Amino acid sequence: MEIKRKERLETDILIIGGGTAGCYAALTIAVESPECSVIIAEKANIKRSGCLAAGVNAINAYIVEGRKPEDYVDYANKDADGIVREDLLLTMSEGLNRVTAKMENLGLVILKDENGKYVARGNRNIKINGENIKPIMADAVKKLSNVTVINQVNITDYIIENNEIAGAYGFSIEEDNTDGNLSGVAYEIRAKKVLCATGGASGLYKPNNPGFSRHKMWYPPFNTGAGYAMGINAGAEMTTFEMRFIALRCKDTIAPTGTIAQGVGAKQVNALGENYEGKYGITTSQRVYGTVKENLEGRGPCYLRTEGISEAQDDSLKKAYLNMAPSQTLKWIESGKNPSEQNVEIEGTEPYVVGGHTASGYWVDTNRETTLHGLYAAGDVAGGCPQKYVTGAMVEGEIAAKAMVAAIQSENKTLSEKSADEFDKKVAEYDAILQNTTATYSIEQLEEAMQKVMDTYAGGIGNHYQFNESQLALAEEKILKIQELAENVKAEDMHELMFAYELKERLTVCLTLIAHLRARKETRWHSFAENLDYPEKSDEWLKYVNTKKENGKIEVIFRDLVKRGETYEHSNR
């Protein structure tokens, strides 16, 4: 197969990734500046793409009555043990209720009490029916006349000219069949400003279920770190990759545990029935760490204690899971035992890099502009702002959208000249993979090799999330070798060409992750970054670990913490 058609498109703003943040950015641009043209380049289809495919159980980031945005900043700061950007957290927190109101206007069902007020679930959450939250957003986006959605286009590289973003290259994952022969279509999309909203990275480590159900994982298996990789390769500064995210989930189905824990007040217990929550602490990483430790010390498996809940609670749980993780409801029914009759076994997932939960991602200024001029980042791909979840990703999309519109209006610039040469070079690179006849290893084999290396040497499940410097050095050495092999893979069709790029993206993310894990010489977050050479935390490490790839080498940059009330601007990019 080869690429036969080359599409050249122009737009004011290109949004890469039509998930939560990307769609909300498009909705914002339509209000702020309806004359501004927008292209959303989406790898799948915006109707169900991204994190919200199956739905979401609750709005987990909301300022409930009696609380203020600063309280949310305090919570996220504490959970991340200080390594956060308070400027980003505060601007995010201030918008949470605004975007929630907009989603309700668009049709999201939110539970209200008799006085018309949202019903809180704990201190920061409100109850919703989130099964159709993504179709609601997608429908609203499709109605916008200034926005063109191009589904099933996989973006692989930024176009950078004169130290500024000028657009992106990619290809359609569907073949063109116009002349009776299947062929590929490549895209060059030129834009004045670009928003990267591609999500985080899954599939770096060997997963919980490595066989047939390998994609039954916490995070979308289709979020492969494309945005991180494109940024890393273009020399963007990244932050805090070492704060990996590991979710505590229901065993096998990898379904959420929070709904059970908060919904019916189920505590974490070991095989002896002892509640071990108090022993290790209750931050996100401590909950995972406690479960690992209990297992290591012979008191596993661990559970959420649901035995003894009422029949009505059983029913409510089964319904709640159908609205976000249907496999768990199916599992309860198949096992013939309701949660009231059997505690729910829990386990930690493989580690992910995901800026919506931890602080990993692009190093951005307060307006969410990255260190590449004109490139913005929002949602899971943007760093410094953990615990943003769904509504926080929307706010970031909104902040970035407003900043892009303002910049376009003030700069009044025209699109740069097209460079046919560069596009042709990119197409030749795609064609080389499509027509390769010398590949020894399949893409799948190399992906498995990568996941095994990360599992063994960079703190995966198999190593109880722990690592030391010798192991990380080996991880780097081995990933570099797999990266060489990945330069010689073959794709039979356009979908497989996407697989080839997903593998390359993940390898790029792995190397940056390893560099970050090596650079932070302390253990600030158990399990998330458990460095056995430096098992304690130290105040000396109250700083950001950032990296930037220059001339093929990953350079580490340490930066001072940005405090609340400060506005951060890039000064040395």
Partner 1 sequence: MSIVIDKNICKSCGRCLSVCPGSLIKKDTENKAFIKYPKDCWGCTSCIKECPFDAISFYLGADIGGMGSKMTVKQRDHYLDWNIEKTDGTVETIVIDKKESNKY
- Which residues ranging from 107 to 146 are in contact with partner 1 (CB under 8 A)? 109-111, 119, 121, 127-132
How far is CA 370 from each of CA 8, 196, 376, 382, rounded to the nearest angstrom? 25, 9, 5, 9
Query: Is 1 a residue that touches partner 1 (CB under 8 A)?
Result: no
Based on CB atoms, which residue is closest to partner 1, 91 or 323?
A: 323
Cβ-based burial of 425 (10 A; exposed 0-12, middle 13-18, buried ≥19): exposed
H or E stretch at 195: strand 184-196
- DSSP characters over 233-268: HTT--EE-TTS-B--EEETTT--BSHHHHHHS-PPE
Pick the binder of partner 1 from 31, 106, 296, 333 (CB under 8 A): 333
Q: Which of 324-329's residues contact partners 24+ apart within 8 Å by CB, and which partners? A: 324/54, 324/55, 324/56, 324/57, 324/130, 324/131, 324/255, 324/256, 324/259, 325/54, 325/253, 325/255, 325/256, 326/54, 327/216, 327/253, 327/255, 328/250, 328/253, 328/255
x/- letters, 236..265, toward partner 1 (CB under 8 A): ----------------xx-----xx-xxx-
x/- letters, 389..408, toward partner 1 (CB under 8 A): --------------------
Q: Which of 101-106's residues contact partners 24+ apart within 8 Å by CB, and which partners? A: 102/27, 103/133, 103/136, 103/137, 103/391, 103/394, 106/136, 106/137, 106/139, 106/140
User: Quick one: which segment of 69-77, 103-111, 431-439, 521-529 binds partner 1 (CB under 8 A)?
Assistant: 103-111
**Contacts for 292 with CB less than 8 Å, ≥ 6 apart:** 348, 464, 465, 527
- Which is nearest to 426 in space by CA: 81, 190, 186? 186
Based on CB atoms, which residue is closest to partner 1, 48 or 573?
A: 48
CA contacts within 13 A on the Cβ side of 23: 30
Helix axes 20-32, 133-142, angle to 10 degrees: 40
- Which residues ranging from 477 to 496 are in contact with partner 1 (CB under 8 A)? 495
Cβ of residue 401: shortest distance to partner 1, in angstroms? 23
Cβ of residue 477: shortest distance to partner 1, in angstroms? 29
Query: Is 15 a residue that touches partner 1 (CB under 8 A)?
Result: no
User: Quick one: which segment of 176-184, 214-222, 434-442, 527-535 binds partner 1 (CB under 8 A)?
Assistant: 214-222
End-to-end CA distance of the chain: 41
Based on CB atoms, which residue is closest to partner 1, 369 or 455?
A: 455
Query: Is 470 a residue that touches partner 1 (CB under 8 A)?
Result: no
User: Quick one: which segment of 44-52, 97-105, 233-241, 303-311 binds partner 1 (CB under 8 A)?
Assistant: 44-52
Residues in the interface with partner 1 (CB under 8 A) total 60
Query: Is 48 a residue that touches partner 1 (CB under 8 A)?
Result: yes
x/- letters, 140..179, toward partner 1 (CB under 8 A): -----------xx--------------------xx-----
For residues 123 and 64, the answer to whether their CB atoms sit within 8 Å is: yes
Query: Is 505 a residue that touches partner 1 (CB under 8 A)?
Result: no
Pick the binder of partner 1 from 25, 26, 147, 320 (CB under 8 A): 320
Q: Cα 513–516–521 angle (5° rounding)? A: 140
Residues 393, 415: Cα–Cα separation, whole Å: 28
Going by the DSSP 8-state scheme, the letter that residue 380 receives in this structure is G
Based on CB atoms, which residue is closest to partner 1, 151 or 367?
A: 151
H or E stretch at 377: strand 375-377
User: Quick one: which segment of 64-72, 183-191, 217-225, 454-462 binds partner 1 (CB under 8 A)?
Assistant: 217-225
Residues 470, 383: Cα–Cα separation, whole Å: 28
Query: Is 214 a residue that touches partner 1 (CB under 8 A)?
Result: yes
Query: Is 454 a residue that touches partner 1 (CB under 8 A)?
Result: no
Based on CB atoms, which residue is closest to partner 1, 123 or 335?
A: 335
Cβ-based burial of 275 (10 A; exposed 0-12, middle 13-18, buried ≥19): exposed
Query: Is 435 a residue that touches partner 1 (CB under 8 A)?
Result: no
Query: Is 44 a residue that touches partner 1 (CB under 8 A)?
Result: yes
Cβ of residue 227: shortest distance to partner 1, in angstroms? 16
Sheet holding 361-362, edge to edge: 361-362, 238-239, 544-550, 553-559
Based on CB atoms, which residue is closest to partner 1, 20 or 366?
A: 20
Cβ of residue 211: shortest distance to partner 1, in angstroms? 5
Based on CB atoms, which residue is closest to partner 1, 119 or 406?
A: 119
- Which is nearest to 103 in space by CA: 321, 380, 390, 356? 390
Going by the DSSP 8-state scheme, the letter that residue 132 receives in this structure is T
Query: Is 47 a residue that touches partner 1 (CB under 8 A)?
Result: yes
Query: Is 379 a residue that touches partner 1 (CB under 8 A)?
Result: no
Query: Pairing relation of β-strands 120-121 and 125-130?
Result: antiparallel
Based on CB atoms, which residue is closest to partner 1, 37 or 154?
A: 154
Query: Is 211 a residue that touches partner 1 (CB under 8 A)?
Result: yes
Cβ of residue 515: shortest distance to partner 1, in angstroms? 29
Cβ of residue 54: shortest distance to partner 1, in angstroms? 4
Query: Is 232 a residue that touches partner 1 (CB under 8 A)?
Result: no
Based on CB atoms, which residue is closest to partner 1, 108 or 486?
A: 108
Give the interface with partner 1 as residue ranges (CB under 8 A): 43-45, 47-50, 53-54, 57-58, 109-111, 119, 121, 127-132, 151-152, 173-174, 209, 211-217, 220-222, 252-253, 259-260, 262-264, 316-320, 322-323, 326-327, 329-331, 333-335, 495
